[in-house]
Structure 1
Amino acid sequence: MTSGAERTRLRIGSAPDSWGVWFADDPLQVPWQRFLDEVAASGYEWIELGPYGYLPDDPALLGRELAARGLRVSAGTVFTALHHGGAAAWEETWAHVSRVAVHAAAVGAGNLVMIPAFWRDDRTGQRLEDDTLTSAQWRTLAARTERLSRQVREEFGLRVVVHPHADTHIDTEENVVRLLDATDGDLVSLCLDTGHYAYCGGDSVKLVETYGERIGYLHLKQVDPVLLARVRQEDLPFGPAVGLGVMCEPPHGEPPLEPVLAAARALAERRGADLFAIVEQDMYPCPQDKPLPIARRTREFLRSCGA
């Protein structure tokens, strides 16, 4: 009889964020060919697509480039503002999500990471809207998250995983739990980003142990506690905080990843299914020679943790 440990595993990968990529096209960013070369050289098999348009949007071309390097795609990424009411807001969101979902499915991804809209500009700090949703907005957010998840699954065969994120309305433990409690567990899953959750005061191990059935995907990331204290004291927006290095190289930050990985392995074994755990160290902007050595050290660290 095959044991749970033999049946299941954490599928470790990396993402363009770990190479300083935030935008489809930016001269500060590493070219996409170099990203693919270096992520493969770092020992990873799985990648995310990153911002739509960074990697080639021709599935045949991208498929050949991935196959040549022994890489596979775990997820695409979409940005949404589902708490905004009105048919026009929904149609605009669905047009963006559909475009990304078609491409992600065509290159073999099984997941779509959904990042909520920022309530303040992540570069300038300009307030775009209130940082707290009204009860009516929470109802709209919950209903449209379910609707989006259902339609993406039915039309594209992908699972939407909601990414709690700094400077969005889904950030703290209170708001994450509020979303989970307001939505259907068969439709709405989380992408738990350990760095963002710590940035917003959450405990990743507690969330996995308490709401494990709702965790569909992981981003492995750490936050520098000293810099985080400065970010909170000065009320810095997320972009400048990243520029300071608030998201740091493992194992030098919080949360400790060993207990997170242990909890994730236990969750995968209970389910009898693999679980993606994608390294994503936000580093924008950064020198183009910086990411590769960090990626290699991080992969070795994760191996030392049994991942």
Structure 2
Amino acid sequence: MSRPAMIGSAPDSWGVWFPDDSRQTPWQRFLDEVAAAGYTRIELGPYGYLPTDPARLRDELDKRGLTVTAGTIFEHLHRADSWDTTWQDVSAAATLTAVMGARHLVVIPDFWRDPQTGKVLEDAHLTDEQWVAYAGQMNRLARRIRESFGLQIQFHPHADTHVDTHENVERFLDETDPDLVSLCLDTGHISYCGGDNLKLIGDHPERIGYVHLKQVDPAVVAAVHEQGIGFGEAVRMGAMCEPPAGIPDMPPILDALANLDAEIFAIVEQDMYPCPADRPLPIARRTLTYLQSCGPLR
């Protein structure tokens, strides 16, 4: 069954990575500009960036004709004795997400390399035993999030984490329960790590539950990998670029998503932390216009 992807945007496209940072776009400006750019759906971004009081947040969104598609939170369940600290963070984000009427929680693994300094924090690879334990914890998290909040977790492979390359994404999918864990396919991160977005969609259509649309500059990414540069510096170098200047090619991705037997939120993201205050809005407008010219969106 062919269905259009439902398009939205996120604070990430306004240079927002943290709940509070003086170099980031103020949340009021983000909401004003994402609406002005033509979007009607957003993610919450880092928990605490947007107001966490549901009544206030709902009022701010209603004034601008915006609705929430998902919350976003990092986890570190690959580490021993990490359940309690992970649950504290995840449950707070899930509470607000559910109250705002969204159905998805995007869950991102923590970094093995500091995203700001590039410092290696731990081994870049999990052992076989760690993979099994991690998958078990992820299944546990997904089950509890569903039972407690009625949300579906959408696991987000990410550069400089343990679930990054095509091989590691495949292993993660093999190790986790398909009835519990779906994938947030971030087209930029998959390409950044050398993966094949179309193959993942074709091989695992039932696991694609949510999408982040972005592109990468292949020349910058090649230099980043050759020099062993961390993700934060790669972003500052322009690794994540404005469509249609990079890869992957968007029309085939949108066509493949339209043919999935599911309603898919496709959220536009362009990592560019930090960025000048006047840069995001023109990019957001151009990106939406471009994507609407590529395939079935609403």
Encode CA deviations 1:28-72: one digit per residue, 9 max, x unaligned: 111101100110111111100000110001010000110111100
Of 41, 44, 57, the match for 1:46: 41
Letter in 2 for 1:151: R
Letter in 2 for 1:138: W
Letter in 2 for 1:237: G
Distance 2:225 2:92 in 1: 36
Q: Are positions 1:101 and 2:94 aligned together?
A: yes
Of 254, 260, 280, the match for 2:269: 280
Q: Are positions 1:296 and 2:285 aligned together?
A: yes
The Cα shift of 1:83 comes to 1.1
3-state SS of 1:55 partner: coil
Aligned length: 296
Letter in 2 for 1:149: A
User: What corresponds to 2:223 in structure 1?
Assistant: 230
User: What corresponds to 2:168 in structure 1?
Assistant: 175
CA RMSD of aligned residues (A): 0.8
The Cα shift of 1:107 comes to 1.1
Name the % identity.
Answer: 61
User: What corresponds to 2:136 in structure 1?
Assistant: 143
Distance 1:14 1:297 in 2: 13
User: What corresponds to 1:263 in structure 2?
Assistant: 256
What TM-score results when the alignment is normalised by the length of structure 2? 0.98
Distance 1:203 1:210 in 2: 11
The Cα shift of 1:78 comes to 1.0
3-state SS of 1:263 partner: helix
User: What corresponds to 1:31 in structure 2?
Assistant: 26
Distance 1:174 1:42 in 2: 37
Distance 1:184 1:102 in 2: 23
Distance 1:85 1:217 in 2: 28
Distance 1:114 1:183 in 2: 14
3-state SS of 1:161 partner: strand
3-state SS of 1:49 partner: strand
Gaps of 5+ in 2: none
Task: Report if aligned partners of 1:84, 1:140 keep a CA contact under 8 Å in 2.
Answer: no
Of 131, 139, 150, the match for 2:124: 131
The Cα shift of 1:127 comes to 1.0
Of 284, 294, 298, the match for 1:305: 294
